[in-house]
Amino acid sequence: MNFETVVFYVFAALAVIAASRVVTARNPVHAALFLVLAFCSMAGVWILLEAEFLAITLVLVYVGAVMVLFLFVVMMLDINLVQLREGFWRWLPFGAVLAGLMAFEMIWVLGSSKISGGKEVIKHAADYSNTKELGRLIYTDYVYPFEIAAVILLVAMVAAIALTSRRRKDAKSQVVPEQVAVRKADRLRVVKMSAEKHAQKSDSTAGVAQ
């Protein structure tokens, strides 16, 4: 067993453990953090496949942004664990069928002759840039699918905002251009007055009046 195989098994085991803890962890925040661990271990496996662009993007996008926002929401939820766990046995057969179906599909696809067949991963030289290759393919051969995917994402984003954005009528907000345009003279009045003296009573009363 060479070093690479050892690393693969370590990452694969970590990914499997973390992924199963995602569904078995009691605390939703712990579950989300296990998902982060699963992503990181998968990124490790992908780096072993020389897909460093995808691996780093996985960490950058999913771990660095998506899961942060996910945690953000999960932390603020007030989840009743008892309510969440009831009906487990009732839905178990349904879930088991779904899981079995998915496992069957995956075995079918990955076991087909086109993809696997125990082919060796082609090793590239050190100066080979995975990123450049991917970029070239995405922006030439696959430019239309890529742009369609981008438009679909944009539509989804606009739809999500349109569905959830409701403005409260009594909400108060600040008008930024007005705030920026404020000059010192609008808010502040400088009053000129002579220095006060303690000695004469008549002067000091005049000073206070000002």
Partner 1 sequence: MMELLQTLLQTGQELLGPAWLPVWTLVKIMAIIVPIMVGVAYLTLAERKVIGYMQIRIGPNRVGYFGLLQPIADGVKLFFKEIIVPSGSSKFLFVLAPIMALAPSLAAWAVVPFTDGMVLSNLNAGLLYILAMTSLGVYGIIIAGWASNSKYAFLGAVRSAAQIVSYEIAMGFALVCVLMASQSMNLGDIVNGQQGRFGMLNWYLLPLFPMFLVYLISGVAETNRAPFDMAEGESEIVAGFHVEYSGMAFALFFLAEYANMILIAFLTSIMFLGGWLSPVPFLPNGSIWLLGKVSFILLLFLWFRATFPRYRYDQLMRLGWKVFIPITIVWVVVVAAWMQTPLWVW
- Is the Cβ of residue 12 or residue 37 nearer to partner 1 in the bound state? 37
Work out how close the CB of 52 gets to partner 1 at its nearest, in angstroms, rounded to a whole number: 5
CB-neighbour burial class of residue 100 (10 A; exposed 0-12, middle 13-18, buried 19+): exposed
At 183, which amino acid appears?
R
- Is the Cβ of residue 162 or residue 175 nearer to partner 1 in the bound state? 175
Work out how close the CB of 85 gets to partner 1 at its nearest, in angstroms, rounded to a whole number: 20
CB-neighbour burial class of residue 37 (10 A; exposed 0-12, middle 13-18, buried 19+): middle
Q: Which of 87, 107, 106 has the alpha carbon at shortest distance from 95?
A: 87
Work out how close the CB of 55 gets to partner 1 at its nearest, in angstroms, rounded to a whole number: 9
- Is the Cβ of residue 81 or residue 102 nearer to partner 1 in the bound state? 81
- Is the Cβ of residue 24 or residue 116 nearer to partner 1 in the bound state? 24
55 φ/ψ angles, rounded to the nearest 5 degrees: -65, -45
Burial 5-14 (b: 16+ CB within 10 A, else e): eeebeebeeb
Segment holding 119, helix H or strand E: none
In sequence order, what are the residues at sequence separation of 6 or more whose Cβ sits closer than 8 angstroms to the Cβ of residue 25? Answer: 31, 34
Residues in contact with partner 1 by the rule CB under 8 A:
27, 29-30, 33, 36, 52-53, 56-57, 59-60, 63-65, 68-69, 71-72, 75-76, 127, 129-131, 174, 176
Work out how close the CB of 60 gets to partner 1 at its nearest, in angstroms, rounded to a whole number: 4
Work out how close the CB of 195 gets to partner 1 at its nearest, in angstroms, rounded to a whole number: 26
In sequence order, what are the residues at sequence separation of 6 or more whose Cβ sits closer than 8 angstroms to the Cβ of residue 123? Answer: 50
Instruction: Tell me how long the chain is.
Output: 210
- Is the Cβ of residue 64 or residue 207 nearer to partner 1 in the bound state? 64
- Is the Cβ of residue 19 or residue 71 nearer to partner 1 in the bound state? 71
Work out how close the CB of 43 gets to partner 1 at its nearest, in angstroms, rounded to a whole number: 9
